[in-house]
Structure 1
Amino acid sequence: MAKTIKTNALRILDKNKISYEAKDSSDLGTSDSPDTDATLIHKTLVARGVSKELYVFIIPLSNELDLKKAASAAKEKKILMLPEKELLPNTGYIKGGCSPIGMKKQYKTFLEISSIKMEQVIVSGGKIKFRIKLKPGDLMQLIGAKAADLVK
């Protein structure tokens, strides 16, 4: 990529001097072992608890969020996924471009526990088809995320 787009997420990473690699998703899978990158890709999901609090869950793309486990991690009786129309006003991001970094407000965030063992994870960079590759520990420290068992 000749010119990298500076999203809010990238500005925050730069400001905090966190090492990352920005990737256009068309670049994914072009490394030496194409399958490697795909397993690192994580999706950012936003849900609301019965308390009306919002929570962010970061899980591997190939997995499904277990709402009971997510509710348990968030110490809620029950949580439901945030309707798509509420994503932009609450996070500043749209579906498919929702980054855990740089949301309008820092919500309680949880990273799938199995992901903390990975050398790197790939999350949305704040716009559709734009991703950031970084160490899970750096991501967790930056956004105050906790590790939790979240997937089915």
Structure 2
Amino acid sequence: MGKEVKTNAMRILDRNKIPYEIINYECDEFIDGLHTAEKTGAPVEQSFKTLVMSGKAAAGGNRQYYVFVVPIAEEVDLKAAAKCVGEKSLEMLHVKDLTPLTGYVRGGCSPLGMKKQFPTVVHESAASFDKIYISGGRVGTSITVNPDALLKVTRGQYADIIQHN
């Protein structure tokens, strides 16, 4: 049996002595979170996706980037998310910009271990679980982690940032 190749996300959890489980699944290309949960048997309500967004840059200013961790079956409420991070508005990062900015690829983007630590917001529903499922930092790998521990490591916050019909 080969040694597990660690991702940046796993190394950060190890360094902070935070327990986690690794779940590998067969996947050659990007699949969405619902299909990932189906493949791994993870409960949908405990499975979260990582979205990276940017605020609108002020004239001559630099863009600020934000990480949002939301349930896989939900959509971000852009107004609520923007208000939460003190921006007028947010826009989703283009896929072509994801790897240069975060070091991760689409479908393997973890809120842990990006090239820089960005302000992180986790949907408040995560707080009701002992563990949540997030990307392990590469396509084909999920990890389970305690949501409070995730917040501590990312210096994040809980907020209601999903659309309500």
TM-score (norm 1): 0.90
2:4 maps to a residue whose letter is: T
1:56 maps to a residue whose letter is: V
Corresponding residue for residue 125 of structure 1: 136
1:4–1:22 contact (8 Å) kept in structure 2:
no
Structure 1 alignment gaps of length 5 or more: none
1:15 maps to a residue whose letter is: R
1:44–1:58 contact (8 Å) kept in structure 2:
yes
Q: Please state how far the C-alpha of 1:73 moved relative to its aligned partner.
A: 0.8
TM-score (norm 2): 0.83
Corresponding residue for residue 15 of structure 1: 15
2:6 maps to a residue whose letter is: K
| Identity across the alignment (%) | 40
Distance (Å, rounded) in 2 between the aligned partners of 1:29 and 1:79:
30
Q: Please state how far the C-alpha of 1:40 moved relative to its aligned partner.
A: 1.3
Structure 2 alignment gaps of length 5 or more: 27-35, 58-62
2:37–2:47 contact (8 Å) kept in structure 1:
no
Q: Please state how far the C-alpha of 1:11 moved relative to its aligned partner.
A: 1.1
Q: CA-to-partner distance for each residue in 1:16-57, whole Å, 9 max, x for gaps?
A: 1101001114596689xx5x5332110000000013100000
Higher mean Cα deviation, 20-29 or 49-58? 20-29
Distance (Å, rounded) in 2 between the aligned partners of 1:7 and 1:67:
30
4+ residue runs over 4 A deviation: 26-31
1:49 aligns with 2:32: no
Distance (Å, rounded) in 2 between the aligned partners of 1:10 and 1:93:
14
CA root-mean-square deviation: 2.0
Corresponding pairs, count: 149
